[in-house]
Amino acid sequence: MGPMAIGLLVFVATCALLATGLPIAFGLGAVALVFMIAFDGWSSIHFLPETVFAGLEDFTLVSLPMFIIMGAAVASSRAGSDLYEALARWLHRVPGSLVISNIGACALFAALSGSSPATCAAIGKMGIPEMRRRGYDADLATGAIAAGGTLGILIPPSITMILYGIASETSIGRLFIAGVLPGLLLTGLFMAWALFLSWKRGTRLVDADRIYSMRQKLELMPRLLPFLAVIVGVVYALYGGIATPSEAAGVGAALCLVMVVVIYRVWKPADLWVILRDGMRESGMLMLIIGTSILFGYMMSSLQVTQSIAQSIADLEVNRWLIFAAINVLLLVAGCFLPPAAIILMTTPILMPVITAAGFDPIWFGVVLTINMEMGLITPPVGLNLFVINGITPDVRLPTILKGALPFMACMVLAIVILCVFPELATWLPSKVMG
């Protein structure tokens, strides 16, 4: 059996196994083990522990649990509600102000937490009922939060970017800074659509004539500015070469824990235990996925599947943008069924030789890939953000949430097109800051 036929068999077996609901780490590990034994014999088992633990030796991985705890600490406090309320007061008189405020709060909270589901839950619990009370349609209110939550994996610090950096062996600091301008671009596109739709529908808002004094607008700032200062500090430390990702993440996690205790009085042992428990649980899950995905990649490489796919694509005498379009379709389809971490760790070893052979910048492609992963979070049947929003607002049907999220998906596609026309949006800032 040739490498391409083996690759097709691996793809079918992996999709079938993961469709059963088996945890991703166990699914990838089982497929890798079965194919290694089937084609390389029982002696290949000796490489299993060595491959998994060698992949987890990367010191950069220490930053993952630190950033996760940083996000868990912020998500456990009222920072999301305060962000939303502060922006709502400042943007109160703008058309579509409440939706724009929620999208802005999602962008800022995404930078604090780095988690899309956490962003949806934190901002949506307060924002969606308030938007609906003030006259916004259910599809716009829920769709805006579902889409705004996806910004958590693009705006730094991003766990998805860390995983891509590890899998592609590219600079995590450059990836972080590459996500800044595209993140602002996507946030702006989301806000523009919300403003246009609110104006088109002529939404008449409750309390539209309410006036906030300057004191009311400023009173929440002392709670929020320390958290934003930590994010700016962490990002500056990474970009300026002052600290490694692991060191910056450790300091950021410690400072966020301290500020949650001081500012929001989350000091009870039971509350702190919830933060650490959730952080350890998610970190353990990601480490298992990383370890087994490395074993999966080793199996694909040892059976010559990766090399054959890359060579076949490289030999195609077609325009490189057709190859890029095909890769985007592949990522979008995969995002409908698998979470971002699994897709990145499974596909990056295969796609990187193709991307570099086609002349695309790996940093730029990391941003495009992340936007594709964002679309997967709001597409059925496994659109995680859709189900988070449905859990917050059970009286709103899932098709209504999807209807509201679809235009924001179009904004993501437009963002990818803009990045293709102006790749400097992702590559200029890293080069300017880091050389």
Question: And the tokens for 211?
Answer: 């006036």
* Burial (CB count within 10 angstroms: exposed 0-12, middle 13-18, buried 19+), residue 207: exposed
The phi, psi pair for 182, rounded to 5°, reads -60, -35
- pLDDT digit of tens for each residue in the chain (435 aa)? 777 788 788 878 887 887 777 787 888 888 888 888 888 888 778 878 888 887 777 766 777 788 788 777 877 777 777 777 777 777 766 667 778 888 888 887 777 777 777 788 778 877 888 788 777 888 988 999 999 888 878 887 778 888 898 888 888 888 888 998 999 999 999 999 988 888 787 765 544 556 777 788 788 788 778 877 887 777 777 666 677 777 888 888 888 888 888 888 888 888 888 888 888 887 888 788 778 877 887 787 788 776 676 667 666 667 888 888 888 888 887 777 777 877 887 788 878 888 888 889 999 999 999 999 889 888 876 677 888 888 888 888 888 998 999 999 999 999 999 999 999 999 998 888 776
d(CA 338, CA 254): 32
- Residue 236 vs residues 15, 157, 315, 427: alpha-carbon distances, Å: 40, 11, 42, 17
Residue 300 to residues 9, 61, 280, 293, Cα–Cα distance (Å): 11, 23, 30, 10
At 337, list the tokens: 């069924």
Encoded amino acid at 251, one letter: V
The answer to whether the beta carbons of residues 78 and 271 sit under 8 Å apart is no
CA angle at 108 for the pair 71 and 145, rounded to the nearest 5°: 95
In degrees and rounded to multiples of 5, residue 387 shows phi and psi of -75, -30
What is the reported pTM? 0.78
Rg (CA), the chain: 22
d(CA 234, CA 243): 9
Residue 205 burial (CB count, 10 A): 18
Residue pLDDT, tens place only, 246-297: 788 888 888 888 888 888 888 888 888 888 888 888 788 878 877 887 788 7
- CA angle at residue 237 from 191 to 233, to 5 degrees? 55
Distance CA 329, CA 324 (A): 9
> What does 118-173 look like in DSSP terms, one character per residue?
HHHHHHHHHHHHHHHHTT--HHHHHHHHHHHHGGGGTSSS-HHHHHHHHHHT--HH
Residue whose entry in the numeric block shows the structure tokens 């694509």: 313
Amino acid at site 4? M
Q: Exposed (0-12), middle (13-18) or buried (19+): which is 241, by Cβ within 10 Å?
A: exposed
Number of CB atoms found within 10 A of residue 157's CB: 27
Buried b (16+ CB within 10 A) or exposed e, 255-283: bbbebbbebbebeeeeebeebeebbeebb
DSSP 286-308: HHHHHHHHHHHHHHHHHTTHHHH
C-alpha atoms less than 13 angstroms from C-alpha of 166 in its C-beta half-sphere? 27
Q: How many residues does the chain have?
A: 435
